């Protein structure tokens, strides 16, 4: 069973640290803070031994594209700010010509080493997007406007906070490499004195197809105000699973309902957080894209609970309700299930696993 509690998230963070060895993770006082300068980034990547021992493998931070020349402009058409277009999903009209793909699936993204003037929470907004060499439009995995900031809990010692990822418009294809762009802000607490740009730039993920088996990679981009931790899985014989979640009805619950949606690929132990927050209104549909290896399965988990007021310690919340179901992967086919979460509300999901 999957649980999204803060205690579980802390435990996962500790697991990531222990895998790096017995070395303590960086704190806000000693984490490297290089600029985008080529030499400064090279020093962190190749000369700073602590960067390899006290955190995920470092990768190079390049400056954000503004105008003029850029190292990746010719490969990724960085002047194009448009979002990737999702084609309609349908069966092959005659003979099936579908082929497996090399796909990238993000698992987790965190900011690390962020020293905040007001400890506790940060109001994060901005974007994180991926570009492919074949289709260079942006495929967003995190996108929030200033009017829709995300309140994240910031660990005071390490300056770490997990961002709530969104599903990409479609799966991220990885022929050999891809570019991840980011611009992340922290809105000031009084909301009158502007905001702080905490990290901006891009980094290239490459050498994906050189490994014969699916694998999980955990890498870090170091910036001047904070670092960005990126955890993803790469699958070399995969198809796209499209999950559609539609709420049928919601009971009358004081304070409303929180919903968490997770996915678990049978090829990996990691759990993919697909959604966390207020569920869609009854009748509205939420569409998600997930990479799944062929001849394997995908498990979906839904949790729901009353929102309540976390600022009132005396308020007792009802135990969460949960539902889970497994689906087999393939080029074509649709499976529809109805998830009944207790007697309070239920949801239906329609899942298509098909090669685009």
User: For 167-221, what is each residue's pLDDT tens digit?
Assistant: 888 888 887 789 999 999 998 766 555 568 999 999 999 866 556 678 899 999 9
Q: Quick one: which of 124, 119, 123 has its CA closest to 142?
A: 124
Burial (CB count within 10 angstroms: exposed 0-12, middle 13-18, buried 19+), residue 284: exposed
8: tokens are 């579980």
- For strands 257-265 and 227-250, give the pairing: unpaired
Beta strands in the chain (DSSP E): 57-59, 101-112, 121-132, 139-144, 150-153, 161-162, 172-173, 177-187, 195-206, 215-222, 227-250, 257-265, 271-277, 285-293, 297-306, 321-328, 334-341, 345-354
Per-residue model confidence (pLDDT) at position 246: 84
58 contacts 217 by C-beta, under 8 angstroms: no
Tell me the DSSP string of 98-140: ---EEEEEEEEEEEES---SS-SEEEEEEEEEEEESSS-SBEE
- pLDDT of 340 > 80? The answer is no
Average pLDDT rounded to a whole number, residues 262-267: 86
Tell me the average pLDDT across 61-76: 93
State mean pLDDT over 225-241: 91
190 secondary structure, DSSP code? T
For the residues 131-155, what does the mean pLDDT come to? 92
Domain extents in the chain: 61-66+98-354
Handedness of CA 216, 74, 142, 43 (dihedral sign): positive
Instruction: Compute the mean pLDDT over every residue in the chain, rounded to the nearest whole number.
Output: 81
* Whether the predicted pLDDT of 106 surpasses 70: yes
What per-residue confidence (pLDDT) applies to 21?
A: 55
Average pLDDT estimate for 310-333 = 63
What token pair was written down for 216? Answer: 């999980």
Instruction: Tell me, yes or no, if the pTM score tops 0.75.
Output: yes
Give the phi and the psi of residue 260 in degrees, each rounded to 5: -125, 135
Find where tokens 């499976």 sit. 335
């Amino acid at each position: 069973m999957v649980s999204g509690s803060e205690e579980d998230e802390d435990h996962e963070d500790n697991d990531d640290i222990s895998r790096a060895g017995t070395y303590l993770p960086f704190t806000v006082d000693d984490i490297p803070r290089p600029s985008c300068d080529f030499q400064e980034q090279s020093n962190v990547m190749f000369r700073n031994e602590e960067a390899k021992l006290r955190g995920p493998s470092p990768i190079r931070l390049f400056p954000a594209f503004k105008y003029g020349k850029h190292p990746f402009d010719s490969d990724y058409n960085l002047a194009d700010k448009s979002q990737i277009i999702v084609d309609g999903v349908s069966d092959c009209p005659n003979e099936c010509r579908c082929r497996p793909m090399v796909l990238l699936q993000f698992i987790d993204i965190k900011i690390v080493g962020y020293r905040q003037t007001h400890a506790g929470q940060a109001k994060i907004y901005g974007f994180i997007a991926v570009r492919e060499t074949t289709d260079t439009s942006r495929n967003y995995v995190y996108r929030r406007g200033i009017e829709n900031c995300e309140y994240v809990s910031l660990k005071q010692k390490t300056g770490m906070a997990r961002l709530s990822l969104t599903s990409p418009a479609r799966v991220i294809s990885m022929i050999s490499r891809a570019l991840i762009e980011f611009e992340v802000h922290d809105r000031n607490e009084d909301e009158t004195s502007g905001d702080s740009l905490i990290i901006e730039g891009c980094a290239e993920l490459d050498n994906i197809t050189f490994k014969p088996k699916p694998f999980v990679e955990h890498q870090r981009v170091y910036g001047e105000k904070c670092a960005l931790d990126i955890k993803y899985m790469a699958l070399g014989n995969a198809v796209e699973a499209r999950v559609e979640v539609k709420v049928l009805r919601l009971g009358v619950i004081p304070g409303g309902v929180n919903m968490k949606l997770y996915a678990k690929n049978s090829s990996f132990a990691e759990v993919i957080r697909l959604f966390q927050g207020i569920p869609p209104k009854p009748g509205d549909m939420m569409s998600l894209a997930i990479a799944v290896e062929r001849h394997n399965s995908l498990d979906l988990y839904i949790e729901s609970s009353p929102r309540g007021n976390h600022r009132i310690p005396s308020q007792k919340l009802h135990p969460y309700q949960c539902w889970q179901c497994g689906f087999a992967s393939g080029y074509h086919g649709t499976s529809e299930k109805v998830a009944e979460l207790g007697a309070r509300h239920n949801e239906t999901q329609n899942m298509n696993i098909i090669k685009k």
